[in-house]
Amino acid sequence: MIEINKNFNKLEKNYLFAQISKRTQEYKTKNPKANIIKLGIGDVTLPICDVVLKAMHKAVDEMGSEKTFRGYGPYEGYEFLRQAISSSYVKYGIDIGANEIYVSDGAKSDTANIIEIFDITGNVLIPNPTYPVYVDSNILAGNNICYIEASESNNFLPLPNNEVKADLIYLCSPNNPTGAVYSKEQLKIWVDYALRNKAIILFDAAYEPFIEDESLPHSIFEIEGAKECAVESCSFSKGAGFTGIRCGYITIPNELKLNGIKAGDMWLRRQSMKFNGVSYITQRGAEAALSEEGRRQILKNINYYKENARILSEALKSKGIWHIGGKNSPYIWMKCPSKMKSWDFFDSLLETLNIVGTPGAGFGNSGEGYFRFSSFGNHEDVLEAASRFKKFNF
């Protein structure tokens, strides 16, 4: 008799953002006049930039002509986009060929699906707190998760414990939810650990476009030895605003081999079986996002969000509230005042200031007592939120 995958029962029942939305809606129903400011969900709000739109319009027109129409594309993505991505690595001194890049519909599916190509018998190391997809996908697969604790004492940038062995390691930098960013020296410690353990690092660089400090690494492949032990997941979502368009890619270096087989070949085999590629129109848009003009226009949007983060950070600083992030990341991670628990602070903030954020406990138990703000809103809302913070007695 067929039964449900029992690992489903091990998943958290309530999706974090559904719970936030439910509590916010309940409050709104009771207080219909409340002007609620949402600084919770990490979705972008600014529209797609001009140069990307033009490229996509052109691609739509190509689809309407017999000569330029395209059907199924290559599973790994069109050569023009993979070449553009390969070139985008050059400015960080990294040599990644187009044949090491696999285009996808985004980093969520890639970070969840990549485990299918590995035979994981040992530990999967996942930071706590974390982007929940890493945890849920490994729970569903029945893998053994071992948390790496992030805390104020390690600036929310945990390093390996040499006593603990691992098969797979998830690192996300700039981090969701904490906004913390690993230095090159710290990543080198992780790479050396992975090489020693014959483990693989899955490096999630979805927020890489927000890095502004020159010393910080944009890619794990800036680190010596990483090509033998890491794959990197990137996304057009947060920088280019593709959350609704859907495009990302995973970089699997040719040097990365398991049992003598290239990991990239296994990934392509998996993708060609389960995935029919990203639309031509989307890939032309992504290509335009990587052009010089595309980067210039996208940077304007990123700077808009960063100004929001600066305003929020200033307001928290003026109240003496401990927080990190916001500079090389769209997220601010703050400590709840008076040792409050995350969800208690959520309710208090909603009721007293009509502001919605994300309880840190929703990203893992090490997030308890912390709270995340997203800077993806509009200036007016953020200015209003900051002025409410300043008047509030934390």
Closest approach, Cβ 33 to ligand PLP, in A, equals 32
Q: Is 285 in the site for ligand PLP (CB under 6 A)?
A: no
Task: Check residue 248 for interaction with ligand PLP (CB under 6 A).
Answer: yes
Fill in the per-residue mask, 218 to 237: x = in contact with ligand PLP (CB under 6 A), - = not in contact: -----------------x-x
Label residues 65-86 b or e (16+ Cβ within 10 Å = b).
eeeeeeeebebbbbeebbebbb
Least Å from the CB of residue 110 to ligand PLP: 8
Closest residue by Cα to residue 386 from 318, 329, 304: 318
The nearest distance, CB 131 to ligand PLP, in angstroms, is 4
Contact positions with ligand PLP (CB under 6 A) in 79-118: 106-108, 111
Among 21, 99, 155, 243, binds ligand PLP (CB under 6 A): 243
- For ligand PLP, the closer CB: 139 or 195: 139
Query: Residue 38: in which H helix or E strand, if any?
Result: strand 37-38
Identity of the amino acid at 221 = F
- From the list 44, 56, 172, 180, which residue makes contact with ligand PLP (rule: CB under 6 A)? 172
Q: Does 332 engage in binding with ligand PLP (CB under 6 A)?
A: no
Give the integer Cα–Cα distance in Å for 221 and 231: 9
What distances in angstroms separate CA 355 from CA 35, 41, 64, one per listed residue? Answer: 9, 12, 47
**Closest separation in Å from C-beta 198 to ligand PLP:** 25
Contact between 208 and ligand PLP per CB under 6 A:
no
122-to-10, 164, 219 alpha-carbon distances in Å:
19, 10, 26
The DSSP code for 213 is: -
User: For ligand PLP, which residue of 55, 135, 180, 206 counts as binding (CB under 6 A)?
Assistant: 206
Nearer to ligand PLP, 111 or 143 (CB): 111
Give the Cα separation of 295 and 288 in Å (integer).
Answer: 9
Residues 290, 266, 171, 214: is their CA dihedral positive or negative?
negative
Give the binding site for ligand PLP (CB under 6 A): 42, 106-108, 111, 131, 172, 176, 204, 206, 235, 237, 243, 248
